[in-house]
Each structure stands twice: as C-alpha cells, then as structure tokens.
Amino acid sequence: MTVTAAAELSDLRSFLHGLPGVDKVGVEARAAALATRSIKTSSKAKAIDLAIRMVDLTTLEGADTPGKVRALCAKARRPDPADPTCPPAAAICVYPAMVKVAAEALAGSGVHLASVATAFPSGQAPLEVKLADTREAVADGADEIDMVISRGAFLAGEYTRVFDEIAAVKEACGGAHLKVILETGELATYDNIRRASWLAMLAGADFIKTSTGKVTVNATLPITLVMLEAVRDFRARHGRIIGVKPAGGIKTTKDAIKYLVLINETVGDDWLSPDRFRFGASSLLNDLLMQRTKLTTGHYAGPDYFTLD
Amino acid sequence: MPKSSSVKAPAEPGRLSVRKTYKLYIGGAFPRSESGRTYLVDGDNVALASRKDARDAVLAARAAQPKWAGATAYNRGQVLYRIAEMMEARRAEFTALGVRSSELSAAVDRWVWYAGWSDKIAQVAGGANPVAGPFFNISAPEPTGVVAVVAPPSLLGLVSVIAPAIVTGNTVVVLAAGPQVAITLAEVLATSDVPGGVVNLLTGRYAETAPWLASHDDVNAIDLTGVDHPDVAIELERAAAGTLKRVIRPVTGGVDFTADPGLRPMTALLETKTVWHPKGY
C-alpha cells in the first residue's frame, strides 16, 4: 500500500467526506448527452461482439436448478450455436450452491465463474458467515466473488467496519477476483456512491459493481458515470486499475452500447475489455444476439430463435 | 381517392387554422416516423414510415399479442363491435376524406359481422374428432401470431384485411395505402378499447417496408392482398419462405370486398391445435 493510501486510511471518514460532491444535474446531463451518440454498421458490429464478451450471464433465482445452470453455462460458452464466429460470454454468475455444477460445465472453456457471496443480496449476516460463504464458493471453483457491502453499516457511517469486512472477504478470496456490490439503489445519493466506490477500492476491490438486481433502482448511466470517474481518479492516485460492473436493468443492445460510449468518453479504451468492464445481465445477451444476427443475415431476428434463459 | 373541400373548417376571421399532420399508429400511440420523413398527400403532411418504424411496430404487435389472444372471444367481439360504434360516430370525417357513404356503411357493417364471428369461429373451425382409442380428441383453432398486412387502398378493403386477422387473436402491422383514411381509422381504433399494439398502422411506400416485414423472424404471417405488382409479390413471398411464414397471396384482378368474405380470411390466419386427452375408466 502506498503512503497516500495509508494516510487516507488513517482518517477514512474525513477522506471520504472530503471527496468533492457530485453535481447531480451535471452528471445526469452528461450521461444523457453521451447516450445520444449513434453507433452504426461496422462499429456497431464490433460493439456488439465486445458487449457479448463483457456479459456476466447471471441467474440468481431461488428456483435455480443444476439443469438450468448447466444450460446457462452451455450458452456462455457458445452464445449463438448457429454462428461459430460469435464470441463467448465473460462469465457465469450464480449462487454459491450452484458453483460446483457450473465449474464442471465450464471446465476448460475460458469462461470465468463468478459466485455471489457474503449473504447476497442483503448482506445482513455475521462476518464469519460471510467469510465461510466466500471460502466455500472459492473452494468449489469460483474464480470471481461478487460480495455485497453492509449498506446498513455504510449508511450509519461505520466506514471502518465496511472497510474491514471488504478487506477480510478479499483475504478469504485468495486468488479469486473480488467484485464489490455497492447496491447503489440503496445508497440514495451520488455523493454516497462516490464514497462507497472509494471505500471499496481502498479496501482491495478488483471490481466495483452497481447493484444486486434485487432492488427497484439498478444500474443507470449516471450512477455508472460516477463510478467510472472514481476508478479513473483512483488510478491516477494509486496506479491500480479497478473494473466496473453495472448490473440489473440493462436489457437492450442500445443500452449496452450507451455504456460502452460512456466508458470510452470517461476512462478511455483501457477499460473497453472484459477484464475491466462487465455487464451483469441475463436477458441482455439475447438482444445482443438478435442484433448480431440482424447485422450478419440482413434481416430482423426474433426471440423464437434463441434460448429463453 | 378524391378529397372534398369540406375537410377543412371554413376560415373564421382572426383565427388560425389548425392543420393536421397524419402520423403513424404504433403501440396505441401516434408517433412521427423515426426517420423524421413526411410526404404530401392531397396537401396534407403524412408520416413516411421507415424500416425501423416497421421494426418498432412488430415489437409492439408482439408485446400485445399474448394478452389479446388470451382475452375471451366474447370480449374481443365486444371490442370489435365498439369499433363499429365509434366508426359510425365519425362518419362525417370519413365522408370528408372522400369515402362514399355506401362504402362506409359496408365497412361499419363488416366490423359488426366479424364481431359476431369471434365466439363462433372456434366451433366451426375446430371440434371433437372421433378416434379409435380411449381418448377425447379435440381440435381448436389458435391465432397465428403477428401478421404483417399490405393493405388495399379502399376503406372497406382495409377493414376487410384487419378485422379477420384480429378477431381471432392475431395482432397486425398494417402497411396502409390510403394514408388519411387509414390514420382516421387508427383514431377510431385508439378510442375503441382496442389494446395498444393490436393494430399498428404505417403509412408510406410498402415497397420500402414490406421486404423487412417479409423477412422478419418475429412475424408469423404476411397478407399481400394490397400488393399491386406481381413481381413484388413474388419477391415478398420468397423472403417470407425463409421463416416459413403463412402467406396470403394477392388475387389477380383484385378482391371484390363488397361480396360475402366467407370464412377463409379468418381461417387463413389460424393454426389448429389438436389435443389427445385420455378417457378415465
């Protein structure tokens, strides 16, 4: 850890509250303005393939079965069985109980295996339970862990507790990448999102992720913009590159391309890679595939020709 | 279609006239064309639909289809009758656009005629089949799904292609020929309890939009009644074959819409589902 980081930690609260406030109107206007960019033809084809490679294909339902997880893994390896040129998805994202099944199904494919952990989605469990949850998932074969922060503690101002929790989970991850879910929909303000982003990055996150997908407000462009600014500034200060993962509510190719434009205009093309940016989504992949089919065949595609999940 | 001068209200001194732009009808709303294009028809600005408008209309039609097909036949019949009521109330508007009174009456009556068929077509097109085994065997007609329609120019023709498609639970994307009359009909539909997306009307050149609908993977049938060029019809049919769409071919010499339509316009857009149900002993 660098000297500045140590100094920041010595007084976490004053550092986080010393971050410049977010101009709400400005950030929303900026995101809306970038969303109007038109990406067509060959650029669109490249954007679609990149977006497919960035998808964390997710199933987080109480009704998940081994069969459904295997089907999803098959889809991640070969999203469009009719077209061998279609790239694979970045990762599969499942509950810890499904990690073993997914690890078998993904063996040797190069598709990453992410598991949500730490009492997802609420995060309201004792630390020991969260750590055991994480270790179990890693032992079963997950190479990426999506943890949730304790929003209750964060909102109550117990920053050190949140920091220590993230650091402890990071340690429990071992070699696995750690994505920290801020659950921006519950943080209420952009200022809080900026603070939580910095808190997670200082504590050792490899990725910061917007949402669980289980609350009403999920990923939005302005929220992602605030987080991208945070990773940009963090890199400038500490030299470490942190990834960003918006999750929940991104359903169409149009939405996905807006995010790609946002990345390019905010943090530059260093982040235009599945190692730095991911989409947490399930239905998005089908829309990407339909748009891809439209571009390759020259006629509009229909959902009947793609798998349901 | 000749347009009488009475369509515009007489000028009142000191009052600006309220000019009307005829827009598209997609998903229950009246948007302009995504392309921003318009063209002039008899002095009126009319939206010129693009392939992306057609795509949006298919999305709207697909979204509306399960609920419309799931409504009871009785309810669909009521909605169709309501269209007749609303159209009757707007006679003056259609007349001002040059529709003859006799044709208008026939068009209203056609809605009523099809409204009556909504809860009867299943008995005629389906039924119980005798089989050699301990089964009840039942065939029931189900809607084909999303139907693209290249409509003929007359009002009666337009009603005669829309009504048989939607009465059984299909939803339609209609490429209309007579734009003002078609959009006036859309205004009738918008105020008739027809759920948004069940009927979508696009104005413009069908030669530009129809090929996109014919090749569209999410369109289940295409009605080419209004295609007036045989080569274009063949091209469209060929494109439709890629997804095994049902195709209604144009009739050489045109269709006499004043004649009794019979059941064919309805049954052409129905699929038969047959169920084998074991009998208990």
Domain ranges of chain A: 3-298
B130 preceded by a cis bond (ω within 30 of 0): no
pLDDT of residue A309: 74
Distance CA A7, CA A16 (A): 12
CB contact under 8 A, A299 and B55: no
Write down the pTM of the prediction: 0.91
Listed residue (B68, B94, B63, B91) closest to B80, CA to CA? B68
CB contact under 8 A, A299 and B218: no
Distance CA B190, CA B268 (A): 26
For domain B21-278, give the fold: Aldehyde Dehydrogenase; Chain A, domain 1 (3.40.605)
Distance CA A179, CA A201 (A): 10
Distance CA A92, CA A142 (A): 10
pLDDT of residue B5: 44
A-B interface: how many C-beta pairs under 8 angstroms? 26
pLDDT of residue A4: 60
Q: Residue A14: which residues within 8 A CB-CB, separation 6 or more?
A: none
Report, in angstroms and rounded to the nearest whole number, the Rg of chain B calculated over CA atoms: 20
Task: Tell me the per-residue pLDDT of B136-191, one tens digit each, with 9 for 90 and over.
Answer: 999 999 999 999 999 999 999 999 999 999 999 999 999 999 999 999 999 999 99
CB contact under 8 A, A300 and B55: yes
Question: Which among B58, B217, B239 has CB closest to A305?
Answer: B217
Q: Which residues of A touch B55 (CB under 8 A)?
A: 300
CB contact under 8 A, A301 and B212: no
Q: Which residues of B touch A303 (CB under 8 A)?
A: 218
If you search the block for the tokens 């369109």, which residue do you land on?
B219
Per-residue 3-state assignment (H helix, E strand, C coil) for chain A: CCHHHHHHHHCHHHHHHHCCCCCHHHHHHHHHHHCCCCCCHHHHHHHHHHHHHHEEEECCCCCCCHHHHHHHHHHHHCCCCCCCCCCCCCEEEECHHHHHHHHHHHCCCCCEEEEEECCCCCCCCCHHHHHHHHHHHHHHCCCEEEEECCHHHHHCCCHHHHHHHHHHHHHHHCCCEEEEECCHHHCCCHHHHHHHHHHHHHHCCCEEECCCCCCCCCCCHHHHHHHHHHHHHHHHHHCCCCEEECECCCCCHHHHHHHHHHHHHHCCHHHCCCCCECEEECHHHHHHHHHHHHHHHCCCCCHHHCCCC
The burial class, CB within 10 Å (0-12 / 13-18 / 19+), for B235 is: middle
Closest chain A residue to the Cα of B213, Cα to Cα: A300
Ranges under pLDDT 70 in chain B: 1-11, 281
Closest chain A residue to the Cα of B56, Cα to Cα: A300
pLDDT of residue A308: 84
Closest chain A residue to the Cα of B212, Cα to Cα: A299
- Chain B nearest C-alpha distance from A289 (Å): 13
CB contact under 8 A, A303 and B58: no
CB contact under 8 A, B242 and A301: no
- Indicate if A130 belongs to the active site: no
Question: Which among A299, A303, A304 has CB closest to B215?
Answer: A299
CA-based diameter of chain B, in Å? 85
* CATH assignment, A3-298: 3.20.20.70
Q: Which of A75, A130, A170, A209 is catalytic?
A: A209
Q: How far is CA B247 from the centre of its chain?
A: 15
Listed residue (A26, A24, A25, A34) closest to A258, CA to CA? A34
pLDDT of residue A126: 94
Residue from B217, B218, B219, B220 whose CB has the most chain A CBs within 10 Å, to mutate: B217
Ranges under pLDDT 50 in chain A: 1
- Indicate if A214 belongs to the active site: no
Task: Tell me the per-residue pLDDT of A230-241, one tens digit each, with 9 for 90 and over.
Answer: 999 999 999 999
- Indicate if A75 belongs to the active site: no
Q: Which residues of B touch A293 (CB under 8 A)?
A: 217
